[in-house]
Structure 1
Amino acid sequence: MFDIGATELLVIVIVAVIAIGPKDMPLALRTAGRWIGKIRRMSAHFRTGMDAMIREAEMEEMEKTWRERNAKIMAEHPAGEMGPLQKTDPPAASAEAAVNKANETQPPDKPGEG
């Protein structure tokens, strides 16, 4: 993000040691660490909020699209136009029925053949 290289970091450390002094350096680093932690937590909280807002906007858009498609389908097929659904056999039962029907239509085997 900031793109700080090794030489820039070394210059910052040297300036900090000269300006703050080696005695107060641990306290300064601790304070800087706390501030950096707060900034990271705030940015994570902000990012989470933004993600939630984006998700909500996407959901609203999807609901709007769904309502439009539903209205279009309902306009194309009024309530009285659609009849009741026809009951169908499950696939296994219909396959068995087809096999049984095929066996009924075949002539029986002659004795002695096989």
Structure 2
Amino acid sequence: MFDIAPSELLLVAFVALIVIGPKDLPKALRVVGYWVGKARGVARQFRQGFDSMVREAELEEMEKRWAAENERIMREHPASDGDAVVEPVTDDGTPPPVMVEQPQVVEAERPAPAADPRPVESKPAQANPDVAPS
């Protein structure tokens, strides 16, 4: 959209350096950055509002199409009393509970206990307490 060559950008930076001066150039760049950010925010908000309006218009158009298609289908296939689904009802007017098959719980086979993989340590023989050590 905006075609700015690097040489043009250098020329603008050089003129800004001479006109504004090196002391006030950071302040000027900060102000320019602030206003560019504000402009981008306004553009973003405008774009979001426009996208929102387009989306709403598309939804309204789809709803109209769906309503027309639904009306066409209802005209082609009118409901008859024989096609109606009758829900079962108990004496007190509530639907009956849904019955499901209860799962059978079976005890799993337990594997044989594994041998202890640690080596057996031999214990030193205990001295007879009746015999005095030599």
CA distance in 2, matches of 1:7, 1:81: 82
Matched position secondary structure for 1:22: coil
CA distance in 1, matches of 2:82, 2:10: 78
CA distance in 2, matches of 1:28, 1:55: 40
Deviation at 1:37, TM superposition (A): 0.6
Q: C-alpha offsets along residues 14-61 of structure 1, whole Å, 9 cap, x if unaligned?
A: 111122121211110000000011011111111111111111111111
Aligned length: 85
Using the aligned pairs only, state the percent identity. 54
CA distance in 1, matches of 2:50, 2:35: 22
Q: Does 1:80 align with 2:113?
A: no
The code of the aligned residue for 1:23 comes to K
TM-score where L is the length of structure 1: 0.68
Q: Does 1:36 align with 2:22?
A: no
The code of the aligned residue for 1:67 comes to A
CA distance in 2, matches of 1:15, 1:65: 60
CA distance in 1, matches of 2:11, 2:82: 79
Instruction: Give the helix-richer structure, 1 or 2.
Output: 1
Structure 1, unaligned runs of 5 or more: 86-114
State the superposition RMSD in angstroms.
1.7
Matched position secondary structure for 1:61: helix
The residue number in structure 2 matching 1:71 is 71
The residue number in structure 2 matching 1:47 is 47
The code of the aligned residue for 2:33 comes to G
Which protein, 1 or 2, shows the higher relative CO under an 8 Å CA cutoff with sep ≥ 6?
1
TM-score where L is the length of structure 2: 0.58
The residue number in structure 2 matching 1:23 is 23
Extract structure 1 runs of 4+ deviating beyond 4 A: none
CA distance in 2, matches of 1:15, 1:64: 60
Larger Rg over CA atoms: 2
